[in-house]
Each structure stands twice: as structure tokens, then as C-alpha cells.
Amino acid sequence: NAGVTQTPKFRVLKTGQSMTLLCAQDMNHEYMYWYRQDPGMGLRLIHYSVGEGTTAKGEVPDGYNVSRLKKQNFLLGLESAAPSQTSVYFCASTFRQGPDSNQPQHFGDGTRLSIL
Amino acid sequence: AQSVTQLGSHVSVSEGALVLLRCNYSSSVPPYLFWYVQYPNQGLQLLLKYTSAATLVKGINGFEAEFKKSETSFHLTKPSAHMSDAAEYFCAVSDIRNTPLVFGKGTRLSVIA
């Protein structure tokens, strides 16, 4: 049971380069999330998706784009990387069953991204 | 808007001592509250959650938390700290509208032998 898998685990980019982070879950979850974690800032939501083909902005969406073409995958893109985007990125997913059900989020192990 | 405040970015306790990590929340509707733990170089794991059932919630690894509406608090406790409890702990809030989780800034727990 893989759960939530993030690729790559580490990456170093130069300013202005682009890249895509992949998140895959095998739990048939509807909701998926991308967070960034910075020292002293906790986790901040970048974008999220409530189902295949839908995305929404979170707290810190600028400079990022996302796509959810397949239910099991959620991609995070950086079109033109900036040093301020150096961070640890976490993907999470959860299975919602109705308005009064709040399931915990399952997290991947993170992607460490450095932008020089 | 919802928010979470974790008091103390770093807490240090002796092995065998009580662990108390503080979390206060702000929510205009009944909240769902969570505690997560993060070990070095890993993702977050759920410790426990409160979803309007019992106010005292028991989680994994001997942790528990009590929801106190009058104090808007959801503090995490463990009677006796173990070396393996050293990690970063995050409190998070959502609500009955199924809004995305809002996380606190985290508290790093150190356990001294």
C-alpha cells in the first residue's frame, strides 16, 4: 500500500527554470492538496483539488499552477522558478464522504526543492 | 476565517516528564481539530482528531487532547515523554463546511535524557 507518493524527492533548479512535481495516491481519494513548508511558517496551502478536473487556489498560489487530469494524480508546476520558492513541498489527499464527515489527510514524504 | 496559534515554537522536556503542547483556534463555526506529528525528513502523520464527539480525544503513542470550547483550546498532552517523541507537532483546524485544513506554525519537541 503506497499511499501518497511524491516525485522527485530532491531537486535543484536555477532561477527561471521550470519543473513539475508529481503527486500520486492509490487510495481513491477525492481531495488532494499541495502545501509548502518553510521554517517557522508551518504548512501553507498552495492549491487544492476537490475532484478530477477541478482545482482551487489556497493561501499562497502565486507562481504555481496545478492540474488534476486524473483522479489519482495532482501535478504542481513552477513556470519560472524563483529563489523564494525554495522550500519543502508536501502533497496530501483525503476521502470525503459528505458534509459532516471530516477525514484526516494523508501526506507524502515531501519534495525538497532548492532554487539557486 | 479560521486560524490556529501554537504557543511556543520549541518545547523541551525531560524523559518521563509531562508533555504539554498548546493550541488555540479561531473559527466562526464548529471546528474540526487535528494534531499531526512530523519526524525528520518525513511527511505528517495524524496523531488524533476532534470532530464534535467526545471532548477528550485519545490518539496514538499515548497522546491525548481535550477540546475546550470556552477557552478555544485543543492542547496536546502525554503523561510521560519518551525519547522517540522528539519531533515537530502541528495543530490544524477545519470545520463542518469541509474547508481545507489551516495549520499552526508548529512546535518542536525535544526530549532530554
Query: Which residues of chain B have a CB within 8 Å of the CB of A58?
Result: 100
Which pLDDT does position A101 carry in this prediction?
54
Check if the beta carbon of residue B109 is closer than 8 Å to that of residue B19. yes
Which pLDDT does position A105 carry in this prediction?
82
Nine-digit cell string for B11? 518545547
Higher pLDDT, B95 or B31: B31
The reply to whether residue B49 touches residue A102, judged by beta carbons under 8 angstroms, is yes
Which pLDDT does position B19 carry in this prediction?
98
Tell which residue, A24, A21, A20, A34, has the closest CA to residue A4.
Answer: A24
Query: Which residues of chain B have a CB within 8 Å of the CB of A43?
Result: 44, 90, 103
Confidence of residue B96 (pLDDT cuts 50, 70, 90): low
Spell out the long-range contacts of B3-7 with Cβ–Cβ below 8 A and sequence spacing 24 or more. Answer: B3/B93, B3/B102, B4/B91, B4/B92, B4/B93, B4/B102, B4/B103, B4/B104, B5/B104, B6/B89, B6/B90, B6/B91, B6/B104, B6/B105, B6/B106, B6/B107, B7/B107
Of A40, A99, A109, the CB nearest to B43: A109
Interface test with B, best of A35, A36, A102 (most B CBs within 10 A): A102
Higher pLDDT, B102 or B20: B20
In the block, cell 476521502 appears at A95
Which pLDDT does position B2 carry in this prediction?
83
Query: Which residues of chain A have a CB within 8 Å of the CB of B42?
Result: 109-110
Confidence of residue B104 (pLDDT cuts 50, 70, 90): very high
Residue A91 reports pLDDT greater than 90: yes
pLDDT tens for residues A30-88?
999 999 999 888 999 999 999 999 999 999 999 999 999 999 999 999 999 999 999 99
Check if the beta carbon of residue B39 is closer than 8 Å to that of residue B106. no
Q: What is the mean pLDDT of chain B?
A: 91
Q: Which of A66-70, A75-79, B30-34, B76-80 has the lowest mean pLDDT?
A: B30-34
Average pLDDT, stretch B1-12?
92
Interface test with A, best of B103, B107, B108 (most A CBs within 10 A): B103
Q: Which of residues 68-87 of B touch A (CB under 8 A)?
A: none
pLDDT tens for residues A8-31?
999 999 999 999 999 999 999 999
The reply to whether residue B49 touches residue A41, judged by beta carbons under 8 angstroms, is no
Which pLDDT does position B95 carry in this prediction?
75
Q: Is B108's Cβ below 8 Å from some Cβ in A?
A: no
Of A42, A58, A107, the CB nearest to B105: A42
Q: What is the mean pLDDT of chain A?
A: 91
**Cα-based distances in Å from B70 to A114, B24, B55:** 44, 11, 12
